[in-house]
Structure 1
Amino acid sequence: MIFSLFDGSGSLSGGSLALLIVALAIALGFEFVNGFHDTANAVATVIYTKSLRPWPAVLWSGFCNFCGVYLGGTAVAFSIVNLLPVDLLIRAGSGASLAMVLALLIAAILWNLGTWFLGLPASSSHTLIGAIVGVGLANSLLPGHVFGAGVNWDKAREVGLSLLISPLIGFTLSAALYLTLKATIRSPELYEPPIEDRPPPFWIRAVLVSTCTGVSFAHGSNDGQKGIGLIMLILIGVLPAHYALNPKAGEPQVQRTLAAAARLESLLQQRESVPGTSALLDELAALRATLKRYPTLHAIPEEARWQVRANLLRLSKGLAALKHTKHSGISNQDWKAVSQCQAEMKPLIEYSPTWVLMAVATALGVGTTVGWKRIVLTVGEKIGKSHLTYAQGASAELVAMSTIGLADLGGLPVSTTQVLSSGVAGTMAASGSGLRGKTVRNIALAWLLTLPVSMLLAGGLYLLFRLVAV
């Protein structure tokens, strides 16, 4: 399947082809590691409470992860991608773009493997985002750049806030749900640790299997999209002729993009005196000129396809900067119109081929079946001073499923690991059994170290790879 991607490109050397295959393998390797690192949290409660035997549980969770990736869309994927500096996103060729992707992927895999080996439920989302920011900062150290200027800090704040708040939501809501269950359902066995070799009552098992299903699907639709975004970065950087623009975008999408560009141009012309607006008008003029010249996307020559992509990316960055400019003179209603124009133009560059969805879904699903035991033991026995009960497992997973699902709808990446483990901690605190200080300290330490370590790893690797790739 991979070799069929190069039909008609005619520009890849043998070395570039080998490097591309390695990059794709590493990207899928990240999703595989993500599967057994993060998804172990989804199956932890259902295995620990003996609602399902281990292998049926991990196979079912793997299938649900597969479905989540395939059906989850791409909003989170490009939320992650847009953290990167625009000058890296619009740079064609295999040098800088592959150095970027390889650096952040290898850094993320190394940290994920290290925390998994120690049995710590660290966050793959935190790791990947730290790696992306690290690459952006390292890129800004290069000659001709201003330190820190290349990172999309607005998007970084938005993503960082979602990662910061989601564990607090998991802890608080899980504790509240557990207390509500205890006050309304008077079934003693619901609040006792599982008895050795005895499965739970049918209705409890049904609840726990359902929440495991929901968390696994939500994890696939949220975390799986990160791999989709990374693979698209690789393909767009190495094969711009085929992937710079959505090959399935027909004439109607081109016309929608032209119409949206015209409306946006009209809005901006009324504020031409605002700093930065003239550059945006130039980008719009270049975009419209190209799309008017060629009737279909397939008729656009390679260099012009890349230019259309660059126009749209620079527009997005410029509009984000304009929104934070004081006295821009643009009302909230006009900003809604601007956002609508952007939404109509995005399908031209924010997309994913079916084979990418299938490959990421498979890697994440297969990864789920590996290495789950360490995390299951941590979640079931080492977070609280008592063993996990049925009510605690159900409360934590129901909250995790809902939180991740809502974040997915909003295009925000959150950590399955942190939401679920903080949910379990919340139910332990609510039950009065208390938390194990050592485990909580280790999880907190992993949480605190993940961003700086992944930033340093990815930034260092990026600068190293730039020496040999550019």
Structure 2
Amino acid sequence: MTFLVVIIILALVFDYINGFHDAANSIATIVSTKVLTPFQAVIWAAVFNFAAFFIAKYWIGEFKIGMSFAKSINEHFITLPVIFSALVAAIAWNLLTWWFGIPSSSSHTLLGGFMGAALAHVGALSQDGFTVINYKVVLPIFLFIFGAPLIGMIVALIITLIIVNLCRRANPYKAESWFRRLQLVSSALFSLGHGSNDAQKVLGLIAAAMVANGSLDSVKNVPDWVPLACFTAIGLGTMSGGWKIVKTMGSRITKVTPLEGVAAETAGAATLFLTEHLGIPVSTTHTIAGAIMGVGATKRLSAVRWGVTINLLWAWILTIPVSALLAAIVYYIVKLFV
């Protein structure tokens, strides 16, 4: 029971870190366009991160993403040391990428850690090693590593072109004033998607730990305090901000105007709502980065700093295998004491 409590605390710590690591996802454009100050922006995003709990609980009626994440590893191979090792590895990678200002995916960090620790548990080359991963759940997640930013990019490009053509004859000053106000709405929508998507992954991991400990009969029956704690933790983390990543997302990929900020955030939110409906955990980081590239590309391809983008892509590719390796190492160390 004590080990379970440690894991729950560690999971909420990861959730908090996820919040400040990914704060840039929903506030980068609204800060870079100076619609809100950084302090105002993190408060705004945190409120809607937490509000996502009520939408998932009372409107959607279930936590689809959390349940999918809990089932990414076959339950026969989920143990408390596996989950502990996954969390330690995910926290380490998140802190490292935050330190260097690299907007890597907290979602894929956690998934990589979960898979790596589970494979270490059974032995990756053993006969069971091929049945550890629930491919029905994991394959769509892998497809959306590339699919989510691509969808975000295409939708953002289309929205931007539509807005530009509709507002071609509008007074530039009035149009910008309106788009600055609309950014509050688009940022709120993206924050709802971010909170719902990312908090649910931790929810799923805690539920899996409770099942492994025998405290719960099924991940579907997770008590209300678990999602409430998860959404609270990510909201508090977002309030702490992650300014190095805000700078990368808000200005280094491409310069963003209020109009483009609205297009990017709306496209990102639409992508997150779609994947939540499908129950597929995706990276909010990848999604908004793709959307920002999409709005930049409408001006000209050279408006996107592709050198920065390539560096981000390398971070995205390395996240899952590095997290898996870290988790496997942590697991072997933990087994010496547990």
Same fold (TM over 0.5): yes
The CA deviation at 1:123 is 0.9
Structure 1 letter corresponding to 2:98: W
**Aligned equivalents of 1:42 and 1:107: distance in 2?**
25
* 1:228 maps to 2:97: no
- What corresponds to 2:96 in structure 1? 114
- Matched residue SS, 2:303: coil
**Aligned equivalents of 1:70 and 1:360: distance in 2?**
12
**Aligned equivalents of 2:127 and 2:105: distance in 1?**
31
- What corresponds to 2:77 in structure 1? 88
* 1:209 maps to 2:193: no
The alignment-based identity, stated in percent, is 34
Aligned partners of 1:135 and 1:459 also within 8 Å: yes
The CA deviation at 1:371 is 3.1
- Taking only aligned residues, the RMSD between alpha carbons, in angstroms, comes to 2.1
- What corresponds to 1:351 in structure 2? 221
Structure 2 letter corresponding to 1:368: T
- What corresponds to 1:392 in structure 2? 260
- What corresponds to 2:144 in structure 1? 162
Q: 1:422-460 CA distances to partner (integer Å, 9 max, x unpaired)? A: 111111122115222331121011011111101111122
* 1:458 maps to 2:327: yes
* 1:76 maps to 2:83: no
Aligned partners of 2:19 and 2:233 also within 8 Å: yes
Equivalent in 36, 39, 44 of residue 55 of structure 1: 39
**Aligned equivalents of 1:37 and 1:455: distance in 2?**
19
* 1:244 maps to 2:244: no
Aligned partners of 1:140 and 1:149 also within 8 Å: no
Say which structure is richer in helix.
Answer: 2
Aligned partners of 2:268 and 2:288 also within 8 Å: yes
- Matched residue SS, 1:362: helix
Q: Judging changes above 3 Å, is the alpha-carbon distance between structure 1 residues 128 and 142 closer, same or farther for their aligned structure 2 residues?
A: closer
- Matched residue SS, 2:145: helix
Aligned partners of 1:70 and 1:221 also within 8 Å: no
**Aligned equivalents of 1:445 and 1:59: distance in 2?**
31
- What corresponds to 1:467 in structure 2? 336
Aligned partners of 2:28 and 2:249 also within 8 Å: yes
Equivalent in 116, 129, 141 of residue 123 of structure 2: 141
Q: 1:214-271 CA distances to partner (integer Å, 9 max, x unpaired)? A: 0111111111101111111222233x2x4225xxxxxxxxxxxxxxxxxxxxxxxxxx
- What corresponds to 1:365 in structure 2? 235
Q: Which segments of 5 or more consecutive residues in structure 1 lack a partner in the other structure?
A: 1-15, 90-96, 191-198, 246-348
- What corresponds to 1:341 in structure 2? none
Aligned partners of 1:50 and 1:200 also within 8 Å: no
- Matched residue SS, 1:468: coil
**Aligned equivalents of 1:84 and 1:75: distance in 2?**
16
- Matched residue SS, 1:414: coil
| TM-score normalised by length of structure 1 | 0.67
- What corresponds to 2:283 in structure 1? 415
Q: 1:315-357 CA distances to partner (integer Å, 9 max, x unpaired)? A: xxxxxxxxxxxxxxxxxxxxxxxxxxxxxxxxxx513211112
- What corresponds to 1:439 in structure 2? 308
Structure 1 letter corresponding to 2:211: I
- What corresponds to 2:271 in structure 1? 403
**Aligned equivalents of 1:188 and 1:134: distance in 2?**
55
Q: Which segments of 5 or more consecutive residues in structure 2 lack a partner in the other structure?
A: 57-61
* 1:38 maps to 2:22: yes
Q: Judging changes above 3 Å, is the alpha-carbon distance between structure 1 residues 237 and 53 closer, same or farther for their aligned structure 2 residues?
A: same
Q: Judging changes above 3 Å, is the alpha-carbon distance between structure 1 residues 105 and 180 closer, same or farther for their aligned structure 2 residues?
A: same
| TM-score normalised by length of structure 2 | 0.91
**Aligned equivalents of 2:175 and 2:28: distance in 1?**
15
Correspondences of 1:277-356 after superposition (within 5 Å): 349-356=219-226
Q: 1:90-113 CA distances to partner (integer Å, 9 max, x unpaired)? A: xxxxxxx22111111111111111
Aligned partners of 1:135 and 1:455 also within 8 Å: yes
Q: Judging changes above 3 Å, is the alpha-carbon distance between structure 1 residues 207 and 159 closer, same or farther for their aligned structure 2 residues?
A: same
Aligned partners of 2:73 and 2:133 also within 8 Å: yes
